[in-house]
Structure 1
Amino acid sequence: MEETNVSLKLLIDRERRRVLFAEAGKDFIDFLFHILVLPVGSYMPLLKKQEMVGSFHNIYESVENFLSSAYLQPNVNKETILNPKVHISDGTGNDVPHLLPNIESSTSTKFYRCDNSNLQCDKYVAYDFSSICPSCRRVMSSEVSFVDLPSATNTESSSEGGYVKGLVSYMVMDDLEVKPMSIVSSTITLLNRFNVKEIGALEEKVVDLGMDEGVKLLKASLQSKTVLTDVFLPRMGVETYCSE
């Protein structure tokens, strides 16, 4: 997987040492939305145990360290639990920036069923051709095709790929709330919301994201309400704190 780089324009309140919001393009928003469709198990290996809040990581480690195949159902593959593939249908998640390493994706629209003509078996399809049919217990190795909506219904969106259109800029708040980029009057309202008294204390800064920042964003999104501040200000040598 080739790493891609994404840029953000941050509006920083130097006095309060926090990011107020970021101006982002389609590529960054596609990355954020892509996190929503990832199976939880796909990014567990990216996060160290001490970086996790709560006990969720213990579930992953239980499967990894304590449950051998002797305890699993015959049709359950331990590897598919620990490292699930991300299945993305064509025209939905393609061309999402590669900012998370070691997550295997599949853009295939292939599905599989068993070769039994039983009507009960017709109810079941699978992504994995080694899956077992719940009805007849045969391997689901016969390929079937997924029929998507005609691309002509939205040729502009399908040609761009990803999740959102690239014709506008987007505003990303410090807590990762996303909305179309505000007009000037809305921006002033936003500054008032953050009680910004001195415009001179504000600074615009363009930052680039690679895989390192992608992993940090993922981690911070699970722990913090000030994600952009936590990820980007320390790398600028700015000690952070947040006060409402």
Structure 2
Amino acid sequence: MAQEGRKEPTVSLRLIIDEEKNKVVLAEAGKDFVQVLFTFLTLPMGTIVRLLEEHQDSEPVTVGCLSNLYRSVVDMKIDDFETEACKQMLLYPKNIRESRYINFKLNIDPTERFKCFGCLFFRICRMSSNFDTSLCKCGEVMNEEISFSQYEDSMQNDVGGVFSRDKSFIITDDLTLTDDSTSSFLQTLKDIGCTDVSKLREEVLHIGLKEAMTLLQCLFTSSAPLTDTFLKNQSSHVMRKIYRKPSPCMEDKGDKAEPDEVITFDAIVRRQDMKILYVECGEDFVDLLFTFLAIPLESTWEISGNNITLGRIGNLCRSFKDLNANEGTEVSSTTSECMLPYYYRCKKQLLNIRTPTPRLYLSRSYDWTLSYSRSFVLTTKRNSERMSFVDPKSDFCDRSKDGKGFVKRGTKFTVSDDLIVTPKNSSSTFSVLKMFRIHTDDLEVQAITISNAEALNLLSASLVTSSALSSAFGNLIMKKPKEEKVSWNPVLKKPKVETQRWREP
């Protein structure tokens, strides 16, 4: 039983409601509620999938093919990954800007903060890791937690922009944000065609974690998230989505990719419509797919090149950019890159992702005379020797620029069109083919090579379609030419040529 008098944190929201239409016209919100919206955008996609599954047990929202991708990580065995930490970092992906929202009034994802660990001989080895299962260069398990002083990544700043001071905002039902003022209020009412204020009523709500999760659902599925969340208390389980295939100029930039910047795999294609049923691939392609789970929502939308329309995510992203610009602050994300913690670094990243290693130094305040002390202190200030970080995806210290991948090296996988990943050692080719109930003559195998452009297409397609591979790589499939079938015509006493056309997908 919960302790008496203990209350869940809530944030307030003032709704202006059209009573006749039972619809939210707009909302007036303070900084606390806007922080909730900001948190949505900074959550990694894997975290969003997990939170939505926990929130809606009966029929959770399916986030494109990313839900299948996350479920694949859950179902795969530890032995399928390089280390135990690999599975953990995919099931509970961390955001490099976590310190921006960890102290918000309503914490959407109350998982543990970044922690740092060293081995028993940390004072000698000077090696650290964010996972307590990593092995130090000396061979010892790094399970001694290290305390922090002013811990923050050197690549990020304190929360600024729209959160720099207490202020209020106007939020429309489609999640467009503007600064609150009389002129903005009147203009918003005018824009939505609601000028008779006598038909409107005001209601103040106190939003807790449950309501916030429903709003997160509606962010993906609804064209009117505020109305569906706070008046109807429900959301559709079918996403409102539009996926536009990239133009030829985006697909082919004319630059030949280097061998270490491409991934090749076999696509099993159905001849009838040239649809990709599944692919057989190595670890590099699976590492690329699993990286999608660590990318924050706003970065997923940004680097997709605006090829998708999904719920009201676009409105929210654009609003924060505009508000930050009005505040004179630097916009935190760009269309060309996103930033992930260092341990998501893979040998073949393909996507425009930065994975900076934290700059942490041993504090001068540490007393080296306490040889058995476990209370080491790290700081971002250059007070002493800089600490080195091990790659938790490796069994031993790995200082190479390119990190190892998540899954076992040398392993083969099958990936279905809707991104269900299965190790080949746990399924046979026969069982896969039998599942599709198709004759072998109707199948063909084509080798596909992808680079950065195709990887971006796949990221976009995985968010909004249920056939990510076919949508992203359809242009790479070689269409069969017309086949001529020659038979003998007994009447005319000469060969008869029949042309068979392949139907375009």
TM-score by length of 2: 0.36
Report what 1:226 is aligned to. Answer: 467
Give aligned pairs, total.
Answer: 208
SS at match of 1:155: coil
CA drift at 1:209: 0.3
- Cα offsets for 1:125-178 (capped at 9, x unmatched): 9xxxxxxxxxxxxxx851586675697x81399986121221211111111111
Kindly name which structure, 1 or 2, has the bigger radius of gyration based on alpha carbons. 2
Q: Is residue 186 from structure 1 mapped to residue 428 from structure 2 by the alignment?
A: yes
- Cα offsets for 1:13-54 (capped at 9, x unmatched): 112532121111111111111121122233433234452221
Equivalent residue in structure 2 for 1:70, among 327, 348, 360: 327
Q: How far apart, CA to CA, are the structure 1 residues paired with 2:410 and 2:316?
A: 42
Report what 2:413 is aligned to. Answer: 170
Report what 1:136 is aligned to. Answer: none
- Cα offsets for 1:42-74 (capped at 9, x unmatched): 343323445222111111100122444539xxx
Equivalent residue in structure 1 for 2:298, among 41, 54, 59: 41
> Identity across aligned pairs (percent)?
22
Q: Is residue 207 from structure 1 mapped to residue 455 from structure 2 by the alignment?
A: no
CA RMSD of aligned residues (A): 3.8
SS at match of 2:344: coil
Query: Which stretch of structure 1 is more off in the superposition, 7-16 or 154-163?
Result: 154-163
1:19 touches 1:229 (CA, 8 Å); kept in 2? yes
1:6 touches 1:208 (CA, 8 Å); kept in 2? yes
Give the letter aligned to residue 34 of structure 1: T
Give the letter aligned to residue 358 of structure 2: T
Listed as ranges, the gaps of 5+ residues in structure 1 are: 72-76, 126-139
Q: How far apart, CA to CA, are the structure 2 residues paired with 1:8 and 1:174?
A: 14
Give the letter aligned to residue 341 of structure 2: I
- Cα offsets for 1:216-238 (capped at 9, x unmatched): 10000001111111122233365
1:60 touches 1:82 (CA, 8 Å); kept in 2? no
Equivalent residue in structure 2 for 1:29, among 281, 286, 310: 286
Listed as ranges, the gaps of 5+ residues in structure 2 are: 1-256, 367-374, 480-503
Q: How far apart, CA to CA, are the structure 2 residues paired with 1:227 and 1:209?
A: 14
Q: Is residue 108 from structure 1 mapped to residue 357 from structure 2 by the alignment?
A: yes
Q: After the TM superposition, which residues 133-148 of structure 1 pair with which residues of structure 2 at under 5 Å, given as runs? A: 142-143=381-382
Report what 2:457 is aligned to. Answer: 216
Taking CA–CA contacts closer than 8 Å with sequence separation of 6 or more, which of the two structures ends up with the larger relative contact order?
A: 1
Closer, same or farther: CA 165–36 of 1 in aligned 2, 3 Å: same
Q: How far apart, CA to CA, are the structure 2 residues paired with 1:42 and 1:51?
A: 13
Closer, same or farther: CA 15–30 of 1 in aligned 2, 3 Å: same
1:87 touches 1:108 (CA, 8 Å); kept in 2? no
